[in-house]
Amino acid sequence: MPLPAFFAAPMAKWIMGSMAFSFMGSLSTINNYKQIAKFNKQKNDIELAYKRISLNKKTARLLSEQRAGFSASGIAFTGSPLIVQNETITSYENDLWWIEKGAVLKATEIDIKLAGRITNELYSAGSSLIQGGMDIWSANERVKAAEKGILS
């Protein structure tokens, strides 16, 4: 029996084992990426909640100061004081909209990065399987050639 044929079965097992480890590694990496994305989204949600709370406190304090200032000045709470407070509320709503828009954009960015990383890992896993298959085929062809006496 020629030397290449003697090593054919162990070599095929080694190649298949290598393919399996590479493929499973890619699947594990994909799961890690998903966990990282999940964590980043949770962190984004916490940051959004914190920013909302901060904005609410800031706006409540500003409205309270405005009411106290108007009351202390003896101005009746009609007309321009209400316009000032209305502008404060409008500003609050605008700020809140931008805070929420930023959180949505951050979550979308996390999803896009995750999709890209998963695509890359799936490509890597597929390439590994194809390369392993080609290695097995090549080893098989060398064994056939050795059996015919073409290779020694």
Residue 140 CA to residue 134 CA, distance in Å, equals 10
- Look up residue 50 and give its amino acid: Y
Residue 5 CA to residue 143 CA, distance in Å, equals 5
In degrees and rounded to multiples of 5, residue 151 shows phi and psi of -110, 155
In degrees and rounded to multiples of 5, residue 149 shows phi and psi of 90, 10
What is the three-state SS of 72-94? Answer: HHCCCCCCHHHHHHHHHHHHHHH
Per-residue pLDDT of the chain (152 residues; tens, 9 = 90+): 444 556 666 766 777 777 778 888 888 999 999 999 999 999 999 999 999 999 999 999 998 888 777 666 666 555 577 788 889 899 999 999 999 999 999 999 999 999 999 999 999 888 888 888 888 888 778 778 877 877 65
**pLDDT digits over 55-95, tens only?**
999 999 998 888 777 666 666 555 577 788 889 899 999 99
pTM of structure: 0.68
CA atoms within 13 A on the CB side of 84: 14
How long, in residues, is the chain?
152
In degrees and rounded to multiples of 5, residue 15 shows phi and psi of -65, -45
Residue 69 CA to residue 59 CA, distance in Å, equals 15
Give the per-residue pLDDT at 1.
44
